[in-house]
Structure 1
Amino acid sequence: MRKYSKILVTGANGLLGTNTIIELLNQGFMVRGFLRNRDNFVGPTHQNLELFEGDITKVNHLNEAVRDIDCVIHTAAITRQHILDYKDYYKVNVEGVENLVLASIKNKVKRIVYVSTAAQFGYGTLKDLGNESIDIKQPFKKQFYVKSKKEAYDFLQTIKNEIEVVTVNPSFMIGAYDSKPSSGKIVLMGIRNRLVFCPPGGKNFVCVQDVSRGAINAMIHGNSGESYLLANENLSFEQFFKRLRKLSKNNMIIIKIPKLIMISLGYFGDFLRYLKIPIQLSTANIRLLCVNGFYSNNKAKNELGVHFSPIENGILDAVHWFSKHRS
C-alpha cells in the first residue's frame, strides 16, 4: 500500500473537488485545495485544509501549489457546454494538465490521479456494457469537452516513465456540494419544474461520494498507467427522472422528446453558434442525449475495492443540498 500524507486537489470548489477534499480529511490526510477564489469554497473549514488561490493555466501558480505535495488529484476542468471555441477547452483541460505535470515532476510529486470522463471509452448496451478496453465512439469524439479530456489523457500516456499517473473515469455524478451547479442541473430541472422534457437516451449515473472514494483508492491502490471507470447505474433519462420524482416528491410530468426533434434542435443550435451566440444547443451536444452511454464498473470494484451506493443516495443528497442552498 502506498503511503502519502499531503494531497493537492485541483478544482477544489467543484462538485467532485469538494467531495474529494471532505473524504480526504475524513481519512486523515493533509489537504491543499487549489481554486481560483477561496470565497467560492462551500466545503467545511478544517485544521488540515489549506486553500490555495491560483490559475491552472499559470505555471508559476502550479509550481507553488505542488511544493511539498506527495500526490495530486486533478479534478479541475472546463465542463460548460456553451463555449464556442475548442481552444478555450484546450487551454484549461489540455495545457493545464501539461503545466501541472511539469510542475509535479519538477517538485518530485510521487503520483497524479487524473480525473477524466467515462466518455473517453466506448459506451455499450445493457447486455454488453462499455469498459476500459473499448475505444471512444461517436458522438463523443466530436464533443469539445470529451475531446479535450481525451487529448490530455493521450499526453499523460507519453510521460508515464517520468511520474506515476493513474486515471479515473467518472460517469454522470450526482450529489451534494454542486455549487456551480454542474451535473446537478438535471436535479434542479426536476425539483423546480412542473414539466420536464426528457431526452430519448440514457447515461450511467454514480454518486459523487463514491467517485471521491474511488479517486482516493486509485491514489493508494491503482496501478500507474491504468484507467478505472467509476460508474454505477445504467438508466434511461426517463428512469432517472422517475426516481427523482419519487424521491423529491415533486409530482413532475415527464414528456419524452423524440430523437428527430432533438436533432432538429441541435441544428438550430449550430446555426445560433455560427452567429457567435453562446448556447449549449448543438448537434454534438444533443446527440450525446440520444444514445445510451452505459458502462461497467467491474475493474474499479475488483482492482480498487470501490463500493458503489444506490443512485438514490446521490439524488437525495443533491435534493437536500439544493433545497438548503439554492432556494
Structure 2
Amino acid sequence: MILISGGTGLIGGHLLLLLSKASEPIRAIYRSQSRVENVKSLFKDQGNPNFDNIQWVKADLLDVPSLETAFEGVTKVYHCAGLISFDPDAYRELRKVNIDGTANLVNLCIANKIQKLAYISSIAVFGDHATHKQIDETSYWNPEAENNVYAIAKYGAEMEIWRATQEEIPVVIVNPGIVLGEGFEDSPSSAIFNRIAKGLSYYPPGSSGFVDVKDVSRAIHLLMESPIFNERYILVGALLKYKTVLNLIAENLNRTRPSRELNRWQLQLLWRLDAVATFLFRKKRILSRHSAQSLWNSSQYSSDKIIKELDFEFTDISTTVRRICNTIKLDKSKA
C-alpha cells in the first residue's frame, strides 16, 4: 500500500494521476472533502478514469491518531503535504505543519518499518546565494543568514526526514524550483497565471528555477522505485527570468505582455506598504521583505545530478505553459 500526504495539493494531485495507473493500491490523506473534489476534477480534465482506485482517509499531520489509521498496511510513503507562506506572521503555523507534522509522519514511518520515504522539499532550503554561484546538492544551509520563514520551516522538515535514515528508513528528497501546473486554483502556480489573465503591467527583474509539476511527479516516482536511497535531487527544468515566463503566459493567454520592470526601490516600497496594509486592515500578507528580495535575486540551480543518474529529461517550460494555458477557462479574445 502506498500512502500520499498532501494528495489534494498541486504536486500530490498530479502524483496521484501518475500512480493511479499502477496496480499497487493507493491511499491518500485529506482534510477537506471539497479538496478531494478538486482532485476528482483534475482526473476528469486529464482524461484519467482511475480516480476510484484511490482510497481516501481523513487525517491531519498534527493529529497522530488519525495518522495511525492512515498508516495501516502502508509500505511506501510520499510526503507531499506542507504549508507554503513567506509571511513572517505565519512562522508558528509553518513550524507546526512543516516541522512538527513531518516529525509525526516520520515517527510512524519508523514505527511501521516502511520500505521507503520520499519527501517533496524545495530549493528554498538552500537559502539565498550570490547571483553567480551555482547551487547544487552539495550546497549547504547557512543558519547564520537571514533566511525567510518558509525556508526555515522546510529545512526543519528535511532534518526530520533525515532523522528517519538513522532508524534505517531509506529516504529520497527532491528540491523543486517554482512548480508550474494546472488543476488547483489556490496553488501559487495558478496565482501566476490568473494574475496575467487579469492584466499585469510590471515584471520583477530577477530570475529563478522553474519546473513542470508532471516532471516533479515523474522524478519522485522514479526515485521511489529505484534502488537509490538517502540522496537528494534538485528539480529545475530551466533557469529563466521572471519576465520570460510572464511573457510566455501572456502570449498563450492572448494578453498584453508586462512591459515595465520593477526597480529594487519599488519592490522595497511595495513590501513596506503591504506590511502597513496588513497591520491596519488585518488582511493576508501578499508581499514580505524576503519575497520582494527573491524577485530581484537571480540564483543559479543545477539539476545535473538527476539528469546524469536517471537519464532524466525535463519538459520545456514553453510546452508546460502552453498546456496549462489551454486549461484556463477565459475569453482569450480580450487583450
TM beyond 0.5:
yes
Kindly state the Cα deviation for residue 46 of structure 1 after the two structures are TM-superposed. 2.8
Unaligned residue ranges in structure 1 (runs of 5+): 1-5
- CA drift of 1:270 comes to 3.9
Deviation larger for 257-266 or 210-219: 257-266
Displacement, 1:152? 1.2
2:46 maps to what in 1? none
Q: Paired residue for 2:333?
A: none
The residue matched to 1:251 in structure 2 has which SS? coil
Shift of 1:80: 3.2
Question: Partner of 2:10 in structure 1?
Answer: 15
CA contact (8 A) 1:168 1:227 kept: yes
Letter in 1 for 2:188: S
Deviation at 1:65, TM superposition (A): 0.9
TM-aligned CA deviation for residue 309 of structure 1: 0.7
Identity among equivalent pairs (%): 24
2-structure distance, mates of 1:19, 1:289: 27
Which amino acid in the other structure matches residue 95 of structure 2? Y
User: How far, CA to CA, are the matches of 2:29 and 2:80 in structure 1?
Assistant: 10
Residue in 2 that maps onto 1:201: 206
Cα root mean square deviation, aligned: 2.4
Which range is displaced more, 167-176 or 135-144?
135-144
- Whichever residue aligns with residue 61 of structure 2, its letter is I
- 1:154 is aligned, of 154, 159, 162, to 159
What pairs with 1:1-327 in structure 2 (closer than 5 Å)?
Answer: 6-41=1-36, 42-43=38-39, 44=43, 46-82=51-87, 84-121=89-126, 129-136=134-141, 142-162=147-167, 163-193=169-199, 195-221=200-226, 223-272=228-277, 277-323=283-329
Q: TM-score scaled by structure 1?
A: 0.89
Distance in 2 of aligned mates of 1:127 and 1:291: 10
The 3 A distance-change label for structure 1 pair 140 and 14 is: farther
Give, in whole Å, the separation in 2 of the partners of 1:122 and 1:79: 15
1:288 Cα deviation from its structure 2 partner: 1.3
Deviation at 1:102, TM superposition (A): 0.8
Q: Secondary structure at the match of 2:188?
A: coil
CA pair 96-81 structure 1, distance change in 2 beyond 3 A: same
State the secondary structure of the residue aligned to 1:89: helix
Question: Alpha-carbon deviations, 1:267-316, whole Å to 9, x = none?
Answer: 33344556665312221221111101331111111223332110122212
Query: Residue deviations 1:193-224, cap 9 Å, x none?
Result: 1x332111111111100000011012112632
Instruction: Give the aligned length.
Output: 318
Query: Structure 1 residues 122 and 80, CA, compared in 2 at 3 Å: closer, same or farther?
Result: closer
Matching residue of 1:3: none
- Taking a change above 3 Å as real, the CA distance of residues 53 and 317 of structure 1, as seen in their structure-2 partners, is farther
Q: 1:122 to 1:146 in 2, by over 3 A?
A: closer
- CA distance 1:301–1:136, change in 2 (3 Å): same
What SS does structure 1 have at the residue aligned with 2:138? coil
Query: Structure 1 pair 253/161, CA: closer, same or farther in 2 (3 Å)?
Result: closer
Task: Judge conservation of contact 2:246–2:258 (CA < 8 Å) in 1.
Answer: no
Q: Aligned partners of 2:142 and 2:256: how far apart in 1?
A: 36
TM-score (norm 2): 0.87
User: In structure 1, how many angstroms separate the alpha carbons of the residues matched to 2:149 and 2:9?
Assistant: 19
State how far apart, in whole Å, the 1-side matches of 2:124 and 2:12 are: 19
8 Å contact from structure 1 (residues 123, 295) kept in 2: no
CA distance in 2, matches of 1:254, 1:28: 50
Q: Does 68-77 or 33-42 show the bigger shift?
A: 33-42
1:61 partner amino acid: S
Q: Is the 8 A contact 1:241 1:254 kept in 2?
A: no
Against the structure 1 CA distance between its residues 264 and 209, is the aligned structure 2 distance closer, same or farther, given a 3 Å change threshold? Answer: same
The 3 A distance-change label for structure 1 pair 47 and 53 is same
* Partner-residue secondary structure (3-state), 2:51: coil
- The answer on whether the counterparts of 1:10 and 1:33 sit within 8 Å (CA) in structure 2 is yes
> Deviations 1:119-144 (Å, cap 9, x if unpaired)?
21256689753211112469985211
Of the structure 1 ranges 24-33 and 14-23, higher mean CA displacement relative to structure 2 is found in: 24-33
